[in-house]
Amino acid sequence: MDAVSYPNAKVIDFFSKFLAPVRVLISSTPLPQQFKVKWTPTFVILDSQGEEHHRSVGFLPPEELIPSLTLGMAKTWFDHEQFSEALSHLDRLISEYPKSDVSPEAIYYRGVSRYKATNDAGALKEAYQKLHAEYKDSEWAKRASVYRLL
Amino acid sequence: MSKPIQWLSDLNDAKKKAQEEHKYVLLDFFNPL
């Protein structure tokens, strides 16, 4: 991370705009034990109350780190049932990083967020259709496949 | 050249900054080796 992702200008800008970041040495106490972290790097996104909403294990290059953290930000709002804020992060992730590994999950959560905000089941079906058309082999296409019946 | 990432010293500082500046806390668990 120190050699590749953290010196990247886009990553630096992203951190400055959105994050309050802390580095935690895996051999320190008490946070690794408190968060049950067993391997590095592990990235954990928390809200301002310290509640966890997302984590990722393993090295991420800049073009995957930014969308992964963006997904975590969206899930923070999703968990608090603030769907318009979740959607704003998900829309940005999907449009700016369509080839990211987390884009299919973002499309899934966008469909669910839209459904929960509007009660329109068409949002779930649209998520399935996009996943089936563009990310057919992803696990999220499988998870959304039941929505084809809506 | 961009200024490097500004890491905070602990979780309490990060929670305070997140609350005041409407940001998200990121914990990066790392091993220097």
Q: Which two three-digit tokens encode residue A65?
A: 């780190």
Alpha-carbon distance of A58 to A40, in angstroms, equals 6
Mutation for B interface: A23, A44, A77, most B CBs within 10 A? A23
Could you report the per-residue pLDDT of A1-58, keeping only the tens digit for each?
Answer: 888 999 999 999 999 999 999 999 999 999 999 999 999 999 999 999 999 999 999 9
As a whole number, the mean pLDDT across chain A is: 97
pLDDT, residue A17, reads 97
Closest residue in A to B14 (Cα–Cα): A20
Residue A73 has pLDDT above 80, yes or no: yes
pLDDT, residue B1, reads 57
> Do the Cβ atoms of A19 and B16 come closer than 8 Å?
no
Could you report the per-residue pLDDT of B3-31, keeping only the tens digit for each?
Answer: 899 999 999 999 999 999 999 999 999 99
Alpha-carbon distance of A82 to B11, in angstroms, equals 24
Whether residue A32 and residue B31 make contact (CB cut-off 8 A), yes or no, is no
pLDDT, residue A53, reads 98
Does residue B9 belong to the interface with chain A, where contact is any CB pair within 8 Å?
yes
pLDDT, residue A3, reads 87
Burial (CB count within 10 angstroms: exposed 0-12, middle 13-18, buried 19+), residue A129 = middle
